[in-house]
Structure 1
Amino acid sequence: MKVNKITSLVCFSFIFVSGMMMVFLYDNNVIFSVLSGLFTGFIASFVISIIGYFHEKAKIIESIGINIKSLFVNMTAMSKILGNTLPSIHNSEIIQDLSFKHVSGISTLNLNLLEKMNLGLYNPFVKNSKNMAVYKKLLEYWLSLQTISNISKNIETRVLEYNLEIMNVQLAQTKGIMVPSEKLKQLDELKNEINIKVAKFHEYVCGQTIELEKISKKYYNGKKNDKNWLKIKEKLLLQVDDILRG
């Protein structure tokens, strides 16, 4: 997109210059003939680059539309999974790690979805358009997704660490081996640490889901063919329900 943009601007400049020279050198047949050929060539190149520019722009905008929906589904599913898992942490001796593996996997997938939008290729002529505003917000959102991915992996590791330790304690107890109270205290502190981390993480994911919805609303509202965000959101929430049931 950037290459086509630069090419079109260069061609337009040469079209203007050669056109002006043709006006002033109209009486010189040889020079006029050369300029006429250049003028025609630059017009053809300009048209091709403009067509290429708008084709690439349409592809990127379409890619944003497709992947932002998948991203919203994933973020909503993550917030619900964390919300459903949080109450069970305090009440269960062993923390169910499957939910955290699921969340960690989704967080990695979210980064891939943002990469598929090809935001780095977006380079419009108009810098204050609605699409440009969405583009800037999505670039900022990339940092949030990286943070979510890092936190989810850290929590998953801590949960696995806790479960391994608690299973070792249970195994020792079945063999009649006395477990030091200090060890049990450390495990209890680790569990509380995980509980607090998950609670804060859930709050952060919910906040970023709301932020993503604002970006999605800005992208979809005003588009033709009834592509209103509220109508799209209804269908996406049904997909979230399917994920949670699955």
Structure 2
Amino acid sequence: MRQDQHFRLERASAWCGFVLLIGFIVAFSLGHLITPLDPTTSPQGVVAFLTDHRTGILACTTIMVLVVPFEYPFVVVTSMQMRRIEGGWGLLSMIQLTTGVVAPIGFFFPLAILSAAAYRPQSHSADVLTAMSDMYWLMLVGNACIFVLQVWSIGYAALIDTRSRPVFPRWFGYLNLVLGVLLIPGAFVYLTKTGPFAWNGLLANILPSLVYFVWKIATPIMLLRAVKAEEAEAAEAAEPVQLATT
């Protein structure tokens, strides 16, 4: 592959981060899922929610099925840039790659369950629909902490970069470390229905969601800058060769 093609693919992969962000916002807005359902909502309230927003929930899942695969090139190009820090495939880039590969599952499975509940709510009892709704919120929010190692690997790589022109700025490293810490409280949604650790609480949902939104904007920008810098380095390295041949 020519170098220009390689860098074009890397830039396209970085732009996939913005595709994901826009897709998430549109999908979850249509499904009325940006604001979580209160864990104390009665079974009748859950049935009403699924019935009233049936079309939006199914549209949300459809959009996510189409958009989430763009996570893969986004994750791969992130690890490819981390390789520059490690001098080849190393522990950090591989941790980011393997944990990032399972990221789509965190959306596919919960949404499939909620869509099954909304698909024909009149065919199931309120108790069954409530259980399916609980599974959606518990999985979506509670399983987010499995990505702690993904963002921490990026953050640590940024902080240990000793290159004269670092791949990522240090503040981006700290942003990843902070996001990793904020994802941890999600593990406690299984223990409570109210308060900051509930699936709609400040610590388990609101703060992690806000920081994740910032991260989802910052990361593609940082990747595009990193690819541009890598391309410039490749051009500089090729100059002596060109001069020698002339």
Normalised by the length of structure 2, the TM-score is 0.44
Larger Cα Rg: Structure 1 or Structure 2?
1
Normalised by the length of structure 1, the TM-score is 0.44
Higher relative contact order structure (alpha carbons within 8 Å, sequence separation ≥ 6): 1
